[in-house]
């Protein structure tokens, strides 16, 4: 299973056999059943998770006690509460398995040590963070610049396989509207 992570890193930067071994010794594997929490609000996020198989979601609960999904992670995507992970302060988010999921994870201290012993990982994570930041910018623009129907249409066309894997109420939360509104959009076959 470590091979998935190593292959992903190799897409962005070369690694020696020694560097691969150091990475493999610094990470761990976890199998997570559907609906299991890897993080709950009020606890410190101690790990950064790389999804090998399955799907995770990152969400918070707003003042109206409604779940607001801010991120999904499927195969070869990373997910964490970056603020809590970096600051070691309690999180305001939850990370939960949407499906039975297998992750490779690394804690903050191990990652910081790897940055020193395998400097190429700083390049790798810089590229990953740039891609994540770009995705957040695009998503923010879509939330403010498109109608609900346009957001749904774009998302369903861009990620048709994803639409089959994730419950519709979660897609509605991620896109910023209610499940009832999503049902109306789908009924119109937009």
CA distance 47 to 54: 17
pLDDT along the chain (190 residues), means of 10: 91 97 97 98 98 97 93 95 97 98 97 96 96 91 87 87 88 88 75
CA distance 176 to 67: 10
What pLDDT was estimated at residue 190? Answer: 45
Provide the residue count of the chain.
Answer: 190
Region of 88 (left: φ > 0; alpha: ψ -120 to 50; beta: rest) is left
Burial code (b: 16+ CB inside 10 Å, e: under 16) for 128-162 equals beeebeeeeeebeeeeeebebeebbeebbeeeeee
Write down all domains in the chain, each with its CATH number in brackets: 2-118 (2.60.120.10)
What pLDDT was estimated at residue 185? Answer: 81
Helix (H, G, I), strand (E, B), or coil: what is residue 19? helix
Determine contact, residues 58/70, Cβ cutoff 8 Å: yes
């Amino acid at each position: 299973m470590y091979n998935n992570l190593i292959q992903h890193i190799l897409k962005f930067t070369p690694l020696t056999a020694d560097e691969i071994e150091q990475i493999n010794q610094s990470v761990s594997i976890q199998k997570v059943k559907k609906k299991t929490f890897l993080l709950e609000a009020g606890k410190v996020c101690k790990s950064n998770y790389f999804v090998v198989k399955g799907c995770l979601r990152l969400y918070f609960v707003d003042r109206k006690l409604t779940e607001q999904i801010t991120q999904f992670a499927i195969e070869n995507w990373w997910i964490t509460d970056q603020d809590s992970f970096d600051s070691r302060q309690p999180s305001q988010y939850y990370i939960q398995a949407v499906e039975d999921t297998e992750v490779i994870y690394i804690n903050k201290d191990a990652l910081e040590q790897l940055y020193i012993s395998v400097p190429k990982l700083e390049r790798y994570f810089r590229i990953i963070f740039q891609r994540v930041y770009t995705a957040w910018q695009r998503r923010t623009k879509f939330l403010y610049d498109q109608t609900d129907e346009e957001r749904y249409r774009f998302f369903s066309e861009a990620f048709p396989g994803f639409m089959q894997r994730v419950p519709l109420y979660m897609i509605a939360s991620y896109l910023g509207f209610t499940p009832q509104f999503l049902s109306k959009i789908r009924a119109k076959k937009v």
